Each structure stands twice: as structure tokens, then as C-alpha cells.
Amino acid sequence: MSPDMAGFLIDANLLYRFALWQGPEYRHVFDLDDTWPDSEIWEYAKAEGLTLVTKDADFSARAMVSEPPPRVIHLRIGNLRIRDFHSLLQQIWPQVLVLNTTHRLLTVYPDRIEGVRF
């Protein structure tokens, strides 16, 4: 991965086969080791300089008390049908990518994105 390419680690609690997250800048926990505890996922993302994309609130809490990396994108969008999940993420992902460059934590809701800057 080139230094100017953002990298993302997709947590095991999110869709594995999701077109938006295909490509060299995205890694999925399932491709690494889906038995890792949260602490190992965190350390891997930190060591690799990846932004962690998750539905797990524990990572948001940890991002608030830790120095980045890793950055965290916390999806708090409930249990949507796959079609609705895909549609929402397709709409907001470009904005998430921009905000990810200046924020340590992004919390994505169905109707807004909230962020905590560095």
C-alpha cells in the first residue's frame, strides 16, 4: 500500500463481501484471523496505520482515550437490510473518507456523521 493511500481494517461484525470495501486499501478481519480479541484487532490496526471500521462501541471508547493510530469509524446505523446498508454507505462514504483525514473518531448515524478531531 502506498503511503498516500488510506488503509482500513473492516471488523468481523461487518459484511465480508461488500463491494464498497473491496480493493487493496481495505483489509477484513476475516482475512487475518476472525478469532482475534478486540485488543489484538486494535494492535494490528495501530501497527499497520489502519482506520478501524466497526459497529463495536468498545473501539469508540478506546479511541477517545488513546492516541491515534488507529482511527475509528463507528457505524451506529442499527440493523438495516443489506440493500439499505449498502445504499446508506454508498451515499455517505465519500464524506467519511474526507472526514477521516482530520478526525480520530467518526460516528456514523443514519442521519448524520459526528466526529472527534485529533
Query: How would you write the pLDDT of the chain (118 residues) with one tens digit per residue?
Result: 334 445 999 999 898 888 888 889 999 999 999 899 999 999 999 999 999 999 999 999 999 998 878 999 999 998 889 899 999 999 999 999 999 999 999 999 999 999 999 8
Strand partners, 9: 27, 52
Rounded CA separation 35/53 (Å): 17
In this structure, is residue 80 part of a structural domain? Answer: yes
**pTM higher than 0.85:** yes
In this structure, is residue 112 part of a structural domain? Answer: no
Overall number of domains in the chain:
1
Residue 34 one-letter amino acid: D
In this structure, is residue 58 part of a structural domain? Answer: yes
In this structure, is residue 42 part of a structural domain? Answer: yes
Give the burial class of 8: count Cβ atoms within 10 A of its Cβ; 0-12 exposed, 13-18 middle, 19 or more buried.
buried
Place of cell 462501541: 57
Question: The domain containing residue 72 runs over which residues?
Answer: 8-107
In this structure, is residue 114 part of a structural domain? Answer: no
In this structure, is residue 36 part of a structural domain? Answer: yes
